Homo-oligomer: A and B are copies of this chain.
């Protein structure tokens, strides 16, 4: 069960309709092909999904949550951890995967989700839990591992280093600037010399 939505713990009564859930997420995905998260409305999702508004409100606290569920449960949006020989290579692969995930349509939607969330603390938390945290944590782990193995210098600040890896990507994402497919390489070229032992 996703962390974005409520749980259905009760045993009594009619059980939650999985058909409805699927219809809602499908409708959301389809609508996001033609509009932005900002212009998306609970009402339009409900109508397109053939579902009552209350059903959506029962399980998700906001349209941003629905959008997150719709986007992050798509195939290709998991944060699968690679096994590599060197820390640098691991970081490179990880960055490449993130760039791929955030390029094109999906990237726009993620940018819109980040935007939509700005004044909702709980949603920010949910977003970090379901997207940022895992990716950043893994980068941090790889940096740490590189430091311990002697591949990287031992006096670098892990947190800031992760920022210089993720930051540029998010920066370009939010700026609406073009992000070429080889942008991960560029970031690696820029950051690696500064941390190599």
Instruction: Report B-chain residues with C-beta under 8 Å of the C-beta of A172.
Output: 163, 167
* Bound Cα distance A68, B170 (Å): 21
Q: Which residues in chain A, 151-186, are within 8 Å of chain B measured between CB atoms?
A: 153, 156-157, 160-161, 163-164, 166-172, 174-176, 186
A70 proximal to B (CB < 8 A): no
Q: Is there an interface contact between B193 and A114, defined as CB atoms closer than 8 Å?
A: no
* Bound Cα distance A119, B132 (Å): 22
* Bound Cα distance A7, B160 (Å): 43
Bin chain A's interface residue count: 35 or more
Q: Is there an interface contact between A190 and B157, defined as CB atoms closer than 8 Å?
A: yes
* Bound Cα distance A186, B195 (Å): 13
Q: Is there an interface contact between A187 and B174, defined as CB atoms closer than 8 Å?
A: no
Instruction: Report B-chain residues with C-beta under 8 Å of the C-beta of A186.
Output: 157, 160
Q: Shortest beta-carbon distance, A112 to chain B, in Å?
A: 5
Q: Is there an interface contact between A174 and B119, defined as CB atoms closer than 8 Å?
A: no
Residue from B36, B156, B163, B176 in contact with A187 in the complex, judged by beta carbons closer than 8 Å: B163
A5 proximal to B (CB < 8 A): no
A115 proximal to B (CB < 8 A): yes
A191 proximal to B (CB < 8 A): yes
Given contacts A38-B119, A193-B194, 10 further A-B contacts (CB under 8 A): A39-B119, A111-B118, A112-B119, A132-B175, A156-B190, A157-B186, A160-B189, A164-B187, A170-B171, A191-B194
Interface residues of A (CB under 8 A from B): 36, 38-39, 111-112, 114-119, 121, 124, 128, 132, 153, 156-157, 160-161, 163-164, 166-172, 174-176, 186-187, 189-195
